[in-house]
Chains A and B, each alone.
Chain A
Amino acid sequence: MIPPQFDYHAPGGLDEALGLLGELDDAKVMSGGQSLLPMMKLRLAGPANLVDIGRIPGLDTIKERDGCLRIGANVTEAQLEESAVVAERYPILLDTARVIADPLVRNRATVCGNLAHGDPANDHPATMLALRAHVIATGPGGERTIDIDDFFHGLFMTALGEDEILTELHIPVPSPGSGGAYVKLERKVGDYAVAGAAVQLTLDKDGKVTKAGVGLTNLSFSPIRASAAEETLLGADFVPAGGLRGAIERVRDAITRASGADDIIAAAAQAAADVTEPVADRRGSVEYKRNMARVLTARAIRTALERAVAGG
């Protein structure tokens, strides 16, 4: 399958790219092209113009600065998997990158593209909701910052204007005592999620949850923030009296032994399942997907807690 005809443009800089978006009709921005090109081949998309930002220098870095992890527009999933700072401080990002498509696709697919595409089946949106990320959109008037909660407008629709490019993603550097996890159920490598859950938690010195983020994948027409689940987790005390430090196996036991921990996790997971609006398809029925949302959220909470305690 060859895509329908279009004109290809490869601007060498951001200003040139923005100029092209301003003057061309029906232009679409592309970086890795791992979602857009298949859609064009299948005639699900047919832009008259492609503006390939893949050759613009300076958009391919991952760095922490001014309290944020900054991920440039051309950073690939493979780069995320290889990044030392991600491995050390953002295990939830590593969880997410590793279950996206397959290793070959991840050599070209970009993190920012995973968001800009606006597909609720993509995995990074839930993780970015859990991490309370911000999207930097650059347009003719300069940069603007979009809260991740305002970014997704529905199936393949986002807050990005037609004359804007998603240039960077900002993730707040987690405070000490933080941990996160992304858990995805997929039928086989490379498939979209049957369901997915992202959880990011911060515990204070006494083991109380002070920050909670819960995002869900492919369980509605948009990525979902499970606010009720977050509220259930906030203020919960997962660490038994006397505290705990040490090996991850002991942490797992201790979390289970903390008084009421199982009940809180179960209640939060149920609250997450309750806000889902899945559609029945070959990946499962509505009931099955909703139940998987509950199961995966509980698992993600447990792993996030273990990591928060072990790392904090």
Chain B
Amino acid sequence: MATHQISVTVNGEAHAAEVESRTLLVHLIRDELRLTGTHIGCDTTHCGACTVLLGGKPTKSCTVLAIQADGCEIGTVEGLAGADGMHPLQEGFWEKHGLQCGFCTPGMLMTGAALLAENPNPSEGEIREAISGNLCRCTGYVNIVKAVRYAADKMGAAAAETANAATDGEDN
């Protein structure tokens, strides 16, 4: 059986792995790298529970071969929180009750993170469009949208504060 040596950078950390041609990215992440925050839901490209960032873009990792990710940057839910605590999105899901069973949450978070990186101030419609490939079977969409808005507001306020601090610094 042919195997391939690949290297990937996951949440900023370089990993080398030996994979079969048919190994799916989600299995590399969960079974080899033991990052089990990324879930497997439908396994048929519908539900988005397995969403990770591949080269910065939200991608269903059950429908990408691990070898296709060779040389790529991958972001998983384990990489969201920083040294100073939860990512504003994670905080938003906490504050706004953006989850019930929590199974879809890692995927929702990664899609939300990609949305906010591209569009820091999304409308409700834009959030709904962005998460349209992520299914929540508890149907908690209303609170998920609120959670993403919470993060947008918090990150926007933080950015404004930084900008003000920078301006103040210039004045001095």
Contacts and interface: CB of A to CB of B under 8 A. Distances in A.
B59 interface: yes
B64 A33 contact: yes
Interface string B37-63: 000000111101001001001111001
A103 B21 contact: no
Contact of A33 (B21, B27, B68, B129): B68
Contacts of A189: 132-133
B132 A37 contact: no
At the interface, is chain B mostly helix, strand, loop or mixed? mixed
Interface size class of B (residues with CB under 8 A): 20 to 34
A42 B22 CA distance: 13
Prevailing SS type, chain A contact patch: loop
B146 to A, nearest CB: 20
13 contacts: A5-B20, A8-B2, A8-B22, A8-B65, A33-B68, A42-B44, A50-B21, A102-B133, A104-B51, A104-B60, A105-B60, A105-B63, A108-B59
B8 interface: no
Interface string A1-37: 1111111101000000000000000000000011001
What class of interface size applies to chain A in its complex with B?
20 to 34
Interface string A89-112: 000000000000111110110000
Contacts of B45: 34, 37-38, 101, 105
Interface string B119-159: 00000000001101110000000000000000000000000
A251 B22 CA distance: 54
B4 interface: yes
B9 to A, nearest CB: 17
Contacts, number: 79
B67 interface: yes
B23 A2 contact: yes
A187 B51 CA distance: 23
Interface of A: 1-8, 10, 33-34, 37-38, 41-42, 50, 52, 54, 78, 101-105, 107-108, 189-190
A7 B43 contact: no
Contacts of A7: 2, 21
B111 interface: yes
Contacts of A54: 68
Contact of B21 (A8, A41, A105, A107): A8
B116 to A, nearest CB: 14
Contact of B22 (A4, A10, A104): A4
A38 B57 CA distance: 20
